[in-house]
Amino acid sequence: MEHKYGADLNGKQFITLCIALCTGTLIEWFDFTIYSQLSSTITEVFFPPTSAAAQQLSYWAVFALGFIARPLGSILFGHIGDSRGRRVTLLWSILCVSVPTILIGCLPTYRHVGIAAPVLMAVLRLVQGLAVGGEFGSAIVYLFEAAPAHRKGTIASLGQAAIAPGVAFGLIACLAVMYACSPAQLLQWGWRVPFLLTAFFAPIALLLRMHMPEPHDFLLSKQQMTMQRVASKAASHAAASFSRQLSQARHSAASPPVGSAPSSRQLSRRLEVLTEVVMTTGGHQGACPSDVELGGDTAVKNNKDATSPGMKCKGAERHGNSSTGTASGSPTVLRSLSISHASAPGSYIQSTELLLQLPQVASFTAAATKQPQHPQHDAELDEAVLSCEAAYAAELQQQAAVVKHHVPLLVLARNHWRSVLLLFCLEACYGATFYTFFSWLPNYMRSIAHLPPQDTLWPILTAMVVFAAAVVATGHFISDGTIPKVWTLVGITAIDAAICLPLLLWCHSGSLAAMWVAPILAIGLLCGSMGGLMTSIGPQIFPAGVRTSGYNLSHNLAMSVFGGLTPMAISALALKLPPPALAAGVLLLLWAAVACAAAAPLVKLVPKINAREPAGGL
């Protein structure tokens, strides 16, 4: 019976995993909420009582430290997720998010240990920031890959929607201790309670994640990219060796030949390209299993991510039997990698030891020249390739025994840096709008309208309920529908730019109605709709072998720059462009323009993200 999920799961197991992955996002935002909403108490408890301004600066510096660590965490956990497996990175990320939160609730205060208290707080927030950089994106990617093809948008949006209960539980916990404790009790022990509540959620998420299977797309793409790294290293070594020998021969010749010999770099690239040609199109009628990986910055040019040089396509052997080239019986680079479904769906060979076979056929160069996708003929280069083919085959065997996995960051830097940059820009408006109305606006309203903290928390709580509904609705009706996702996102971004400035100026009047309406519209409807689209657009941009690294890095860079730095940018701009509400609105207009400008180049680079098909229909 054919599996409808993207991993070896039945319906009950899939629901369990959805809960496990969403619980991680819930814990992440629960911690973020209680740390930000208990800011005045934490400032007084942990930082030196020199002056109120110095205390606030110290608090926000530690807060910013977590944001700065996120991109580094996305690189670290992205590498683990794309090279070692999704399960490993999701187990470590949930541990590194949960344990520091619990430990913060156990920390001694400044009154007890002096300067060690804020230092310990900073260290724990740094570890959390690293983990958050891997948790959210890795969970979204797993949900997207494991979901049924016709429900990828809906299922991936659940990871984004889990932000809402995390914020809600955090706000409820803060409100509960504020109402239940006197100011003295809150400073003495009440602030610890919300942090310690994480000990209830964390074991549940950890246990549910212990036996997660790896998604099929990831297993296949991981092996393919490992093949590419083997071929690349082997080609580089063989080409360098041949170039040295050729150079020595030319210098020792009585009459050196006219013209320059092919460089080592040219020869290495030619070896890789010709190998790709044979293994991708060698007589195969139809697509290789990795055709779903098309996309990225160089896919259109050289199909780099489409199929590994080591991927076996039917008919590759037939076209290797050419009468030209080296004598029959010499080793060639035609290889057969046994990656298949075997007896059960998803039971791919997971060993990193590559199964290389060098058939007794003629030159792969001759085979490559017969293929329809053969690059422009270069006789001199092909002659050089022919001469070093045996050395290349030997290098392949040697590298296959050494190389165990690909390096995702190198693949991103080489093939997908444009995608990372454009997705980073595409999330500008979403990140800036969310953090402006979630973090900056409540504090601003307290200062100008002299509202108690409780009065500014209830509108945020209501907005998060609307946010969750909007995320799932957008994921279901648009991401899994036939409406172009990117152009829909551009439209929502334009609406955001049009209404946020008037909303912020209305809030500047101190109106209590504005305090309710603004977060519900901005966070609930606009950010909810944008977030529901982002969770299906982002994972589709990158091949599965670098999907965790690419999506994590783009998302966390955007949230750090456009989200974490926006409150400080508003304060700085307000000095030149008062009042602060006007400065905030102008910044949101700027970030909306950045997001809209990134949309068209991204669609041109990866057309499938905007196709009139469901998110998993490609």
Q: What is the mean pLDDT of each run of 10 residues along the chain (618 residues)?
A: 64 87 91 85 84 73 85 92 89 92 92 88 92 92 89 92 92 89 89 92 88 82 72 78 75 61 75 63 37 40 37 33 34 34 33 33 52 56 71 73 74 90 96 92 85 82 94 93 92 95 93 92 96 93 90 94 84 87 94 95 90 61
Give yes or no: residues 235 and 165 share one domain.
Answer: no
Give yes or no: residues 402 and 416 share one domain.
Answer: no
Domain presence at residue 300: yes
Neighbours of 433 (CB within 10 A): 27
State how far the Cα of 339 lies from the Cα of 349, in Å rounded to an integer. Answer: 6
pLDDT for 60: 75
Look at residues 422, 566, 592 and name the one whose alpha carbon lies nearest to residue 495.
Answer: 592
Give yes or no: residues 383 and 263 share one domain.
Answer: yes
Structure tokens of 448?
A: 């100008």
Residue-level length of the chain: 618
Coil, strand, or helix at residue 562? helix
Report how far apart, in Å, the C-alpha atoms of 291 and of each of 148, 221, 353, 610 are.
18, 11, 23, 18
Provide the angle, in degrees to the nearest 10, between the axes of the packed helices 408-415 and 547-558.
70
Q: Give the dihedral of Cα atoms 412, 416, 421, 422; nearest 10 deg.
A: -150
pLDDT for 378: 63
Decide if 529 contacts 536 (C-beta within 8 A): no
Give yes or no: residues 534 and 503 share one domain.
Answer: yes
Coil, strand, or helix at residue 56? helix
Q: Which helix (H) or strand (E) holds 292?
A: none
Decide if 587 contacts 569 (C-beta within 8 A): yes
Query: What sections of 282-375 are H helices per DSSP?
Result: 299-302, 364-369
Give yes or no: residues 377 and 253 share one domain.
Answer: yes
234: left (phi over 0), alpha (psi -120 to 50) or beta: alpha
Domain presence at residue 259: yes
CATH number of domain containing 558:
1.20.1250.20
Domain presence at residue 4: no
Residue 191 CB partners (closer than 8 Å, separation 6+): 38, 41, 42, 45, 177
State how far the Cα of 233 lies from the Cα of 215, in Å rounded to an integer. Answer: 27
Domain presence at residue 43: yes
pLDDT for 433: 96
Write down which residue in 365, 388, 406 finishes a domain: 406
Give yes or no: residues 154 and 266 share one domain.
Answer: no
Read out DSSP for 224-282? HHHHHHHHHHHHHHHHHHHHHHHHHHHHHSSSPPSSPPPPHHHHHHHHHHHHHHHHHHS
Number of domains the chain contains: 2
Q: Which amino acid is at 137?
A: G
Give yes or no: residues 350 and 452 share one domain.
Answer: no
Buried b (16+ CB within 10 A) or exposed e, 29-60: bbbbbbbbbbbbbbbbbbbeeeeeeebeebbe
Give yes or no: residues 325 and 424 share one domain.
Answer: no
CA angle centred on 495, ends 493 and 496, rounded to 5°: 60
State how far the Cα of 476 lies from the Cα of 470, in Å rounded to an integer. Answer: 10
Q: What is the sign of the dihedral through the CA atoms of 441, 447, 453 and 455?
A: negative
At 311, give phi and psi (nearest 5°): -80, 135
Decide if 392 contacts 238 (C-beta within 8 A): yes
Give yes or no: residues 359 and 459 share one domain.
Answer: no
Give yes or no: residues 345 and 456 share one domain.
Answer: no
pLDDT for 173: 92
State how far the Cα of 406 lies from the Cα of 497, in Å rounded to an integer. Answer: 41
Write down which residue in 406, 435, 464 finishes a domain: 406
Residue 325 CB partners (closer than 8 Å, separation 6+): 362, 363, 365, 366, 386
State how far the Cα of 222 lies from the Cα of 595, in Å rounded to an integer. Answer: 31
According to DSSP, the residues that pair with 311 across neighbouring strands are 337
State how far the Cα of 540 lies from the Cα of 152, in Å rounded to an integer. Answer: 10
Domain that holds residue 305: 218-406
Q: Which amino acid is at 608?
A: K
Domain presence at residue 6: no
Domain presence at residue 617: no
Write down which residue in 383, 406, 429 finishes a domain: 406
Q: Give the dihedral of Cα atoms 358, 361, 365, 367; nearest 10 deg.
A: -120
Measured in whole angstroms, the distance separating CA 336 from the mean position of its chain's CA atoms is 31
Give yes or no: residues 244 and 164 share one domain.
Answer: no
Residue 60 CB partners (closer than 8 Å, separation 6+): 568
Q: Which amino acid is at 212?
A: M
State how far the Cα of 414 lies from the Cα of 408, in Å rounded to an integer. Answer: 10
pLDDT for 437: 94
Domain presence at residue 399: yes
Give yes or no: residues 309 and 442 share one domain.
Answer: no
Domain presence at residue 5: no
Coil, strand, or helix at residue 405? coil
